[in-house]
Chains A and B, each alone.
Chain A
């Protein structure tokens, strides 16, 4: 287990990557910028666990908050609406 690269309040961008196999980063949020809301903890990598490997070292998992109006150009609702998504550190870059 290492230190978390990002802290609450940091602006981050989700990698817009194509992946083959199991992963937990929904497609709709890839490429979007958001703000780290909290560090959820450190967890084994699900992309490895899915294939019965240990998934170590553990990765930092973040809850990242995104503005709905930026995620969905046609979003129907006021500016303050948000969506929180849990994202593993290796899916995030500094925004």
Chain B
């Protein structure tokens, strides 16, 4: 079975010549990956990043932007490696949401 990320030769439409200046949050995702994958930290490898992106379901893969896939994969890897726990993450996400509502971000 072909995995959905393995798309070489598949039918597709015209290539739209799109590009955009990366948003600060996208650059931060990139920076996190660079830092976490350096020799000193070694909390994610390129092939782990790829594996976790490939694990995103086909529908979500199509809908998500490039850096949305990356932060999803980085997060999954930190959980897999035990660097963060699901409970810590869910509490922190709730906290971020609260601060956003209160205008504190």
Contact = CB atoms under 8 A, between A and B. Distances in A.
Check whether chain A touches chain B (CB < 8 angstroms): yes
Interface of A: 18, 21-22, 26-29, 46-47, 49-52, 72
B26 interface: no
Given A27-B2, A27-B8, A28-B9, A52 B81 contact: yes
A50 B1 contact: no
A42 to B, nearest CB: 16
Contact of A28 (B1, B8, B50): B8
A46 B50 CA distance: 10
Interface of B: 1-3, 6, 8-9, 45-48, 50-51, 54, 80-81
Given A18-B1, A22-B54, A27-B2, A49 B48 contact: yes
Given A26-B8, A28-B8, 18 more contacts: A21-B51, A22-B50, A22-B54, A27-B3, A27-B6, A27-B8, A28-B9, A46-B47, A46-B50, A47-B47, A49-B45, A49-B46, A49-B47, A49-B48, A50-B45, A52-B48, A52-B80, A72-B9
